[in-house]
Amino acid sequence: GAGVSQSPSNKVTEKGKDVELRCDPISGHTALYWYRQSLGQGLEFLIYFQGNSAPDKSGLPSDRFSAERTGGSVSTLTIQRTQQEDSAVYLCASSLRPTGTMEMNTEAFFGQGTRLTVV
């Protein structure tokens, strides 16, 4: 596709239920990131995938959060036993090369996000 695609765009779930959020990165982008944007706060890093390397999970807030990236492309962020404090916009981004390097093509392109509301 032309850009990073996320689905669903909106999700309302009951407290205690599990949810899955999907991200389709730009074709050929090796780096994929998940961020969370809570109301009135900046974007909070959750997890980073780079090629076939082990993901950087250092931003995941609890063991209820997990993510996988199949075949180096599509990624799914799973939140188990959702809590009200999980309500936020979950953003996915991809880049041809990892941000933070001095190489070219490191710009991160963001999807429009999934707005999760836990009631």
Partner 1 sequence: GDSVTQMEGPVTLSEEAFLTINCTYTATGYPSLFWYVQYPGEGLQLLLKATKADDKGSNKGFEATYRKETTSFHLEKGSVQVSDSAVYFCALVDTGRRALTFGSGTRLQVQP
- At residue 91, the 3 state secondary structure works out as strand
**For partner 1, which is the closer residue by CB, 72 or 98?**
98
Task: Determine if 110 is a binding residue for partner 1 (CB under 8 A).
Answer: yes
Task: Determine if 1 is a binding residue for partner 1 (CB under 8 A).
Answer: no
Task: Determine if 31 is a binding residue for partner 1 (CB under 8 A).
Answer: yes
CB of residue 26 to partner 1, shortest distance in Å: 12
- Residue 109 exposed, middle or buried by CB count within 10 Å (0-12, 13-18, 19+): middle
Q: Mark 33-72 with x for binding to partner 1 (rule: CB under 8 A) and - for no binding.
A: x-x----xxxxxx--x-x-----x--x-------------
d(CA 38, CA 19): 17
**For partner 1, which is the closer residue by CB, 19 or 113?**
113
Nearest CA to 33 among 105, 101, 107?
Answer: 107
- CB distance 15 to 84 below 8 Å: yes
- CB distance 25 to 32 below 8 Å: yes
Q: Which residues bind partner 1 (CB under 8 A)?
A: 3-4, 31, 33, 35, 40-45, 48, 50, 56, 59, 91, 93, 98-100, 102, 107-113
